[in-house]
Amino acid sequence: MLLPGLFDRSVFPRHTTMHDPETLEPSSRAALRRALGEAGYAEYRSILSDPEAELRAEALLHFARRQELSGNLAVASELYQGLDAADAEVPATIAARARSQRDAILGVGDGGRRAEFLLRRLALEACDPAGIAGMVLAGGVFRVTRLAALGRLAATPSLGMISRGFLARAAASTAAFALEAPAFTLGARAAHQVLGREVDWSGRALARDIAASYLVLGGLKVAGWAGGAAYRATAGSAGALREGPLQLFFQQGGMFGGILFGHWLEAEAGFRPR
């Protein structure tokens, strides 16, 4: 969910990340210009013109890193992959660094780099208007649907035990969650469109993002529940003065654990490379 559409299509035509983009087909060259921007495209060409292979690879690695930090993850991922290709003639140390950075984007490999990447992405997305719009819409849909479902169940006592107590709350939450994930995906995509960002509205991309939203939001909910249960079990014996910091620790730990769990679910479902 953090990377909508990243794996749906390539920015660079196959095996061309280490070659002058002016040799590409006009349509591919135009797409690359849009992805990099004119300044980025010019810098990319300048880097590739360096005759020294090691200096060229080092500069390309730094260029990819800047693309990553600016949020251009698809470009960064493919540049890292190009540097790590077997036929790229890149020094082993640079190829290893590129592989490590790409693994962090994909949610695999070294835990420290993955944590750094996820925390940075969380900070960026917490301020992203599209992400905020998606979360606000999804949260509103969840609350309204859950309330409506609870009211409907309470008004239908003929349903028996499912119309009250824990079973009623569980059924209402399940119904609300069924609409929450699509609401998040559609809300975020609509906001991206309004902001002038390129959005892939194809059925395949939309279905993949909605399915990924179910997995990641589900992972967050499971981890949030587990973190809350752990906090309640711990806070009672910790003393009142430590309850605030403990609650923050369990909340943030649950959120981070939920994201990792969601990424694992995405990998298991085939939405994210292992």
Listed by start position, the domains of the chain span: 21-124, 128-199, 210-274
H-assigned helices in 107-164: 111-126, 129-154
Of the spans 29-33, 77-81, 236-240, which averages the highest pLDDT? Answer: 77-81
Tokens read off for 265: 């679910």
Which percentage of the chain shows pLDDT scores above 90? 18
Tell me what pLDDT residue 178 has.
Answer: 94
Cα distances (Å, whole numbers) of residue 102 to 58, 91, 110, 268? 15, 17, 11, 19
Q: Which of 194, 255, 203, 216 is nearest to 138 (CA)?
A: 216
Kindly state the average pLDDT of the residues 215-222. 86
CA–CA separation, 214 and 36 (whole Å): 31
Between CA 87 and CA 76 the distance in angstroms is: 19
Region of poorest pLDDT, from 7-11, 105-109, 230-234: 7-11
pLDDT digits (tens, 9 = 90+) for 225-257: 887 777 777 766 555 445 567 777 777 777 777
Percent of the chain residues topping a pLDDT of 70: 84
Tell me the per-residue pLDDT of 147-206, one tens digit each, with 9 for 90 and over. Answer: 999 999 888 888 888 888 888 899 999 999 999 999 999 999 999 889 887 787 888 888
Whether residue 217 is predicted with pLDDT greater than 80 in this model: the reply is yes
Position 18 scores a pLDDT of 67
In angstroms, the CA 199 to CA 250 distance is: 35
Q: What is the CA radius of gyration of the chain?
A: 23
- Of 26, 116, 43, 125, the C-alpha closest to 79 is 43
What is the average pLDDT across 32-55? 87
List the single range of 2-16, 56-70, 87-101 with lowest mean pLDDT. Answer: 2-16
* pLDDT for the residue numbered 138: 92
What is the pLDDT at residue 8? 44
Tokens linked to 112? 């420290």
Whether the predicted pLDDT of 99 surpasses 80 = yes
For the entire predicted model, the pTM comes to 0.63
Q: What is the average pLDDT across 32-45?
A: 86
Q: What is the pLDDT of residue 1?
A: 41
Per-residue pLDDT at 43 = 92
Residues 256 and 260: their CA atoms lie apart, in Å, by 6
Q: CA distances (Å), 135 to each of 33, 85, 142, 182, 184, in order?
A: 31, 38, 10, 11, 6
More confident residue, 6 or 265: 265
Average pLDDT over every residue of 70-75 = 80
